[in-house]
Amino acid sequence: MKAITIIQPWATFLALEEKRFETRSWATRHRGPIAIHAGKKVDKRICREEPFRSILAKHGYTADNLPTGAVIALANLQSCYAVTRPFGETGDVWLEAEGKLVIWDVPRLVALAAQEGHEYAFGDYGHGRYAWEMTDVQLLEKPVLAKGMQGLWNWEEQAE
């Protein structure tokens, strides 16, 4: 199975379905099953800021108890959207993939984040980046220790 290593707390946000898109500087053609691997690095500064701190706390996490160095969830990589900002970095975000276009009104998203989720705050939607859409996320009951790698890599699930 393909896997992607993501630093914390972003891996946990995906695993808990608090985040639907993983943003990257590169596109992928892979579609289908993917393992979410929590890297060993934890961005402790982000974990102390809002809305990140509150979302982690809602699920019983802090910067000090996030799983690291392990596969923590399985998902389906549904789409890989190209991110464009036709009206500049403060204007709308356009996500385009396979003939599908999603337009996000950024000022509205920021203003309504408390009611509609925090997707925009949980990624880097700069022009020229890519948003990988994760669906059917399954949080593993117990993290599976694994050494991560850069890029997409092959993970062989170990039977217990």
On the question of pLDDT at 112 being above 60, the answer is no
Q: What is the pLDDT of residues 23-51, one digit of tens each?
A: 999 999 999 999 999 999 999 999 999 98
**What is the predicted pLDDT for the residue at 102?**
79
Phi, psi angle pair for 99, to nearest 5°: 80, 5
Percent of the chain with pLDDT over 90: 71
Please write the tens of the pLDDT for every residue from 128-149. Answer: 999 999 999 999 999 999 999 9
pLDDT of 107 above 70: no
The rounded percent of the chain whose pLDDT value lies above 70 is 91
- pLDDT for residue 158: 64
Domains by residue range for the chain, with CATH: 2-151 (2.30.130.30)
Is the pLDDT assigned to residue 160 strictly greater than 70?
no
pLDDT for 115: 44
Residue 108: what pLDDT?
A: 57
pLDDT for 120: 81
With b for 16 or more beta-carbon neighbours within 10 A and e for fewer, the 46-84 pattern comes to bbeeeebbebbeeeebebeebbbebbbbbbebbbbbebb
The whole-model pTM stands at: 0.88
Q: How confident is the model at residue 114 (pLDDT cuts 50, 70, 90)?
A: very low
For residue 102, give the H/E element and its range.
strand 100-104
Average pLDDT, the chain: 89
pLDDT at 94: 84
The continuous run of DSSP H or E covering 75 comes out as: strand 70-84
